[in-house]
Structure 1
Amino acid sequence: MQEDFLHYVWKYLKFDVLRATTAQHEALDILSVGQHNTNSGPDFFNAQIKIGEQFWAGNVEIHVKASEWFVHNHEQDKAYDNVILHVVWEHDTNIFRKDNSCLATLELKKFVDNTLFENYKNLLTSPYRKWINCEQDFAQVDNFVIDHWLERLYFERLERKSETILRLLETSKNDWESVLFQLLAKNFGLKVNGDSFLSFAQSVPYSVVRKVQSNIDQLEALFFGQAGLLDDEVQDPYFMQLAKNYQFLKQKFKLENSHVMPVKFFRLRPPNFPTIRLSQLAMLYHGYQNLFSKLMAIETLEVYYKVFKVSATQYWDKHYSFNSASKASKKVMSKSFINLLLINTIIPVKFSYSKYLGKDIDDEIISLIQSMSSEKNSIVEKFDSLKPISKSALQSQALLQLKNSYCEKNRCLQCGIGNTLLTRN
């Protein structure tokens, strides 16, 4: 038995409310279960109940056994003086207030349906190691329940990303173009160089990017130089020209890059080399003076593809790194890479910006994310092996949220799928 189960039972009144009485044999009428408190102090604030003929307003504390009140030293803590009801699974002792009056106790095991308790045990206390707790029953859950829950999870994921974006906005003095630049840079670096690219972007005042973006030679030199890719001595005419441009910019704008994390080439496919991605990023910003406004106004996937269909500068047609020639090919951003940028940067920024303005664009967000194919990764593939459910990027993003924020943390009681399995007959 876990206390979380009792929180769930109380919060959603998953017991025989009409028949419930206190352990002291008094009638109990629950008017409001109160507000769930996940911090220190009583478990539910501002509950309203009626015991016998007496109305009570105050807090509710929940334990597996009543005696845990003393184990946790609540009798010595003033925060628990306003507890009006002690909700327990097993009433093994009475609790007395400081005035020696007995604290009303609800013993849940007398009023919880046995089927609910058995479903709970099967879901969370199985002796067999599973990938997720509901692995054996996942396929039986109705598609409507799963789809509805995944949509909620997707927006939960967006809300979490929005918190990070709004913190960046604060540090950027409400400059949305600067926030977009930092996040785009991070995601151009992918997992291997994401943190390095972010540190490079944060080392450059966005005002400097604005001043040089009309000149692609200077813009590319700025990006390469701040990322530390021009620190070596390379006998390559293009490298030497970039280095010369960068030294001019570094002196003119008093730039510093000593805290920028070094980029990596190891275990990367050549199209994802930091040289190629930084050049593509430079070309993107060279092509659009007000990229943020442009991207926020777009509503369809096809238009996004047109905006992001940029290639690295001409030198990179025959190179992946300096001083090492390769077979000629235009280094154009692929649709799969653009999808990653949309999923991880553009849509979260668009969602955050609309929230900042007080606008609701949920339908537009859903339409956009559902027009993209589902991502391919081990988590999505495992869920699909249990039941094929990932039809678009909305589902694949939601499944990541489900696995990492619910399944991994055994939060089945807060999960829409877990709830369905708990309450089945």
Structure 2
Amino acid sequence: MLFKEEFLHFIWKFRLYHREPMYANPGGKIRVIHPGVSNKNAGPDFLEAKIQLDDTLWAGQVEIHYRSSDWLLHKHQDDLAYENVILHVVYEHDKVIYRRNGSEIPVLSLKGKFKETLYNHYHALINATSRFPCERQLHTVDALSIRLVLDRQLIERFENKTQAIYQLLDKNKGDWEKTFYYFLCRSFGFKVNTLPIELLAERLDLQLLKKYQRNPMQLEALLFGQAGFLEGPFTEQYPAQLKIEYAFLQRKHNLCPMPVSLWKMLRMRPENFPTYRLAQLSGLLQRHPNLFNLFLSVDQFQDYHKLFTLLPINPYWETHYHFKKPSVKTNPQIGTSSVQNILINTICIFLYVYGKYTDQEKYTERAFGLLSFLPAERNSIVAPYQLAGVAMESAATSQALLQLNKYFCCQKKCLNCTIGIKILNR
């Protein structure tokens, strides 16, 4: 049976082998005092291991392969990083391996030292025909263990999003307001139109928008004009006036509009049309000139939602989702689920990143607190976990599950997941 190396890592890390008696070749009787710490970077698989060979105590690195000859296959003999390996753990010992100084590296073969049915359980787990590997067995894992995994995944999700903000902040020379504006605009793309609205934010500087925040018609003309929506002839007064205003501002500020073809509207609900979203974004920018500082100053979680309500949106959008396309009368304000999406994916992330960057714990705590205050998201990814028994307590839970699903479940990394390990160790 050919085992994957990651499975042998699992056996070694959690000492799932028969421990007595064991012998290394050469070296005699071996006792594993500590298997070491998993190395996530280049180099040997485990660092800081401690083993006793007969009467000699060794401390150093451990490398794991299916066959000992894989050492040569992977060309470790040419890599100085492997000179401090004190033990070569393999399933099958088929070749003697030497260090560069000519000394033989002790080998421990795990063949026959663990129940091979354990691999059958692992193989069945990662090949299960379910929406995620442990869907049918998740209910057997205690709630505390699941909670600890999700808490860690939530932190990882925040950390994963941190780097992109830091990079743009550096590009903007430390301007948090400008950086926040870009990511806020991005959130109004709601996945489908993320790319074009990113391009719009790049073409439409925040300082320029601020000059016209007290003139709604010109502010809206800048947004719709730069987005490419004011190209055609208009018979209705509102878009016709916008076109006139944009033509003036375009000449004044030497602006270049985007190709309107970049925006996606096919098979989309009217309330998600980019024109509708830009009208809402315009209302938000009119109402709150200094958005970033405003979001930092909010103390009560329920007040975040209020910042998105009763925005000054032109009445035209009560009867239109797009220019030249009248519709039944509706409320153009941002819907509750959309507000929650923005709070979860933009506001919480910025609170966390700003808190980390400035070393102000109150903001990182507020980020976690706001997520715990918001209701859990409902989508096709988190729904199976709920059906499998995970309590959907808040958006903190759903965000953690999205992270777990993307980086563990979809990649079948059950051996790196505490939940998977608990299931296999039952």
TM-score scaled to structure 2, two decimals? 0.90
- Deviation, 1:260, is 8.1
The reply to whether residue 301 of structure 1 matches residue 301 of structure 2 is: yes
Number of the residue aligned with 2:117: 118
The one-letter code matched in structure 1 to 2:147 is D
SS at match of 1:61: strand
Determine the C-alpha separation between the residues in 2 that align with 1:367 and 1:18.
49
Where does 1:25-424 land on structure 2 (aligned, <5 Å)? 25-28=27-30, 30=32, 33-45=35-47, 47-109=49-111, 111-112=113-114, 114=115, 118-125=117-124, 128-258=128-258, 262-311=262-311, 312-361=313-362, 362-424=364-426
The one-letter code matched in structure 2 to 1:51 is L
Summarize deviations over 1:297-347 as a string: whole Å, max 9, x none.
224332011111144322212222223333333311111110010111110
Determine the C-alpha separation between the residues in 1 that align with 2:361 and 2:16.
34
Determine the C-alpha separation between the residues in 2 that align with 1:254 and 1:48.
68
Determine the C-alpha separation between the residues in 2 that align with 1:39 and 1:260.
45
Task: Say if 1:123 and 1:133, in contact at 8 Å, map to a contact too.
Answer: no
The one-letter code matched in structure 1 to 2:228 is G
Determine the C-alpha separation between the residues in 1 that align with 2:420 and 2:299.
35
CA RMSD of aligned residues (A): 2.5
Task: Say if 1:317 and 1:329, in contact at 8 Å, map to a contact too.
Answer: yes
Determine the C-alpha separation between the residues in 1 that align with 2:367 and 2:19.
41
Summarize deviations over 1:346-393 as a string: whole Å, max 9, x none.
101111111111133454333321222221111112222222422321
SS at match of 1:420: helix
Q: Which sections of structure 1, spanning at least 5 residues, go unmatched?
A: none
Determine the C-alpha separation between the residues in 1 that align with 2:96 and 2:57.
21
Q: Relative to structure 1, is the Cα distance of residues 70 and 325 closer, same or farther in structure 2, using a 3 angstrom cutoff?
A: closer
Q: Relative to structure 1, is the Cα distance of residues 173 and 363 closer, same or farther in structure 2, using a 3 angstrom cutoff?
A: closer
TM-score scaled to structure 1, two decimals? 0.90
Determine the C-alpha separation between the residues in 2 that align with 1:235 and 1:26.
92
Moved more, 22-31 or 135-144: 22-31
Q: Which sections of structure 2, spanning at least 5 residues, go unmatched?
A: none
Task: Say if 1:2 and 1:64, in contact at 8 Å, map to a contact too.
Answer: yes
Q: Relative to structure 1, is the Cα distance of residues 98 and 369 closer, same or farther in structure 2, using a 3 angstrom cutoff?
A: closer
Number of residue pairs matched?
A: 421
Question: Identity over aligned residues, as a percent?
Answer: 36
Moved more, 376-385 or 249-258: 249-258
Determine the C-alpha separation between the residues in 2 that align with 1:111 and 1:408.
31
Moved more, 362-371 or 287-296: 362-371
- Deviation, 1:29, is 5.0
SS at match of 2:24: coil
SS at match of 2:329: coil
Task: Say if 1:200 and 1:261, in contact at 8 Å, map to a contact too.
Answer: no
Determine the C-alpha separation between the residues in 1 that align with 2:111 and 2:358.
49
Determine the C-alpha separation between the residues in 1 that align with 2:316 and 2:176.
31
Q: Relative to structure 1, is the Cα distance of residues 303 and 331 closer, same or farther in structure 2, using a 3 angstrom cutoff?
A: same
- Deviation, 1:418, is 0.8
Determine the C-alpha separation between the residues in 1 that align with 2:10 and 2:33.
17
Summarize deviations over 1:246-268 as a string: whole Å, max 9, x none.
22222333333447872122222
The one-letter code matched in structure 2 to 1:123 is Y
- Deviation, 1:122, is 1.0
Determine the C-alpha separation between the residues in 2 that align with 1:20 and 1:250.
79
SS at match of 1:92: coil
Determine the C-alpha separation between the residues in 2 that align with 1:388 and 1:58.
41
- Deviation, 1:294, is 0.9
The one-letter code matched in structure 1 to 2:382 is V
Task: Say if 2:49 and 2:61, in contact at 8 Å, map to a contact too.
Answer: yes
Task: Say if 1:280 and 1:313, in contact at 8 Å, map to a contact too.
Answer: no
Task: Say if 2:49 and 2:62, in contact at 8 Å, map to a contact too.
Answer: yes
